[in-house]
Structure 1
């Protein structure tokens, strides 16, 4: 987390430097209109796979960039955003990167005050805004941001770029109203195609969620065949959610980790029931086939990864070990995605405290001690520390029987 805070502080200092160097600012009624418009557009938001949420705020930020100086545009974008408060550091990051995105867009537009400059400004805004958010999530997970950036951005980038000229047109209309004397009213009329784009974004996200829910139903159906593994994924998801909260992940990322917990074992659809439900220890050959569920899960979900954030990492790597002795790729330390490191602890605890046909489950305190012993070997020490804190809260997932009762269902 310190790296994310360092990034937030760096962006804030850079934004403050730009603002200070540009004083005094001219913040008249026109600036106030642009800031309020950005504030209104920030309420039209939709969930994104990796970035949490996207809104149409960028159109207000771009219009400000086409109308004002870099510092004035940046201030309009930073103050013209209204979202739920998620902590001082996240707020500092959000405001700072919005300021810098709009300021850079304004600077690009000033270099070539035409449609070409406007498009260059739009690209600059997108690069700063989406790139900085992707970098934060990459720092949280210890992985390079490039792949995550493109996979989450591509479905929305075209919509973004096609809508950007509407912000440029709005700035022209605001400067010189077509009907004379209308100014802001004509700008608001240009919002009709924007609302259509917003409805398209929501439909796209709805399709992603529908795929997600359908796969959750498949997993529940798989586990229902065996009373010993029923509720396994749901309990893993509850534990993983608790760990993500203890690690300080933002709420949208916590929700993604929970979904990853539900779906992480979907590859068991590709493993024979005779192996999964064998009332005894597995042979070496059977153990190898059982391990193949990670590759099977990857094959099953591969066409859907664009709709399922974090699933590829969760499915493939939740059996990797901190010391590099896990499978399937022998990743080590922070090479393992954070979601997989969280699931490794959650999955192990759930398995150790659940009964099997050939042995009784451990007591919660015994499983806790085993996880402590494996910190730095099998498990990420930071995730183990988070597990100890979550364990002390005595939530329902601590024992399988309490968890099943808490769902108000009967196995």
Structure 2
């Protein structure tokens, strides 16, 4: 029997009492999980339709990933990059092959991968492109979400993420997302990279116009600028392909990866690029104590192997069509906008009906967990192990919420 002091209301109060309020979580206290389902401290079960912002693409406690973690825990967990461990080369090689790139630089979090990409692009600009010292510029998009470090929030257009954290880091030009003409006009002789999310997740799963990503690829090639794709949320099977860029046959110069790469067990991120890009780094110029540690690599190797079969990409594509059909059936019945790519959806609720937060609270009361963003928009990103029946359940519960 669960002790009363651990039950939901008390645990929520304790969290609010002892934690800085940088998040506003739903009042649900999870104690265990399996596959696409979570169980709270009172034994209530919830269908997980967020999957840790895509960190749990393979579901909770995937047996193959848990086995790899257990085996590695019994052998070796950390060496630092001062030494080489026996999981490191396999991870880097297999991820490089999955990405079609020469080299991989492992880190821990998505924000670290983005910071790494920024540093590499600037150094490449000075050493390879010949940009004047201190003048490197990177073009980014409005509505972006690449993390919350001081440099990254410097080019955010979300005032909640940006306000009162200045002075801000220079070296970025912001253009409208999906506007190829504006992006092209922003590139000059000091531009070293274009940094984009192929689909903007935090903004509400915003898919750019068809032809936009190929256009970005073309202009970057023509102007000798690196195309950096932040696939931290959109990559590794989420959209029905290994990478969201794959949907339009686009290959960026640099992939930024994270979230699902750690299998929902440990934080793992990575930058993948060819040697003419990542090769600009020399010893001592960038690093991380925990980046590429043995436990992280052991889990991530299994993640890459799961993706190498193509099974999860196919599941995401096929089940995503079922999700799309169900959600589009709610247009005009409380939903005013639906965007779906694979098992990733952004839903705009009629703001006269309720806020996104209220919708998520009502869904939680019905046993479905989702996340709101930007007022009346909610996001769905269930684990790729979800079934057809579970998708139907989520859509049915959403329909009930919208119906009041």
Q: Which has the higher helix share?
A: 1
Structure number with the bigger relative contact order (C-alpha 8 A, sep ≥ 6) is 2
Higher strand fraction (1 or 2):
2
Flag whether TM exceeds 0.5 (same fold). Answer: no
Normalized against structure 2, the TM-score is what? 0.23
